[in-house]
Chain A
Amino acid sequence: MKYELVSGFETHIELQTKTKIFCGCTTQFGGEPNTHCCPVCIGLPGTLPVLNREVVRFAIKAGLAVHGEIASVAKMDRKNYCYPDLSKAYQISQLYAPLIIGGYVELSSGKKIRLHHIHIEEDAGKLIHRHGDTYVDYNRGGVPLIEIVSEPDIRSVDEAREYVEKLQQVMRYIGISDCRMQEGSMRCDVNVSVRPEGSETFGTRTEIKNMNSITNIVKAMEYEYDRQVDLIESGGKVVQETLRYDDVSGTTSSMRSKEDAHDYRYFRDPDLVTINIPREEVEALRAEMPELPADKCRRYIDALGIPEKDAQLLTKYRRISEFFDAAIEGVKSPKTVSNFIIGQMFRRAETESDKEQFDLPTTPQQLNALVKLLDSGKIRNNLAKATLEKMLDTGKPATDFISESDMGGVDDNALLALCKAAIEGNAKAVADFRGGKEKALKALVGNVMKNSRGKADAQAAEAKIKELLG
Chain B
Amino acid sequence: MVTREDVENIALLSKLFVPEEELDGLTKSMQEIIDFADAINNAPASAEGFDCINNLSNVFREDEVVPSYPSEEILRNAPAQAEDHFLVRNRE
Contacts and interface: CB of A to CB of B under 8 A. Distances in A.
Interface residues of B, number: 31
A278 to B, nearest CB: 9
B57 A273 contact: yes
B85 A34 contact: yes
Contact of B59 (A51, A54, A135): A51
B71 A34 contact: yes
A34 B86 contact: yes
A53 B88 contact: no
B68 A36 contact: yes
Contacts of B66: 19, 23-25, 38
Interface residues of A, number: 38
Given A32-B84, A53-B63, A134-B88, A273 B52 contact: yes
A113 B57 CA distance: 34
A14 B16 CA distance: 38
Interface in A1-56: 17-19, 23-26, 32-39, 42, 44, 50-56
Contact of A33 (B52, B68, B71): B71
A137 interface: yes
Contacts of A56: 60
B20 interface: no
Given A34-B85, A136-B87, 12 more contacts: A19-B63, A24-B66, A34-B71, A35-B71, A37-B68, A38-B69, A38-B74, A42-B74, A135-B87, A137-B84, A273-B58, A275-B57
Q: Which 9 A-B pairs have the closest CB atoms?
A: A24-B66, A135-B85, A54-B63, A53-B60, A136-B86, A134-B88, A132-B90, A34-B71, A274-B57
Interface of B: 51-52, 54, 56-66, 68-71, 74-75, 77, 82-90, 92
Interface of A: 17-19, 23-26, 32-39, 42, 44, 50-56, 84, 87, 128, 132-138, 273-276
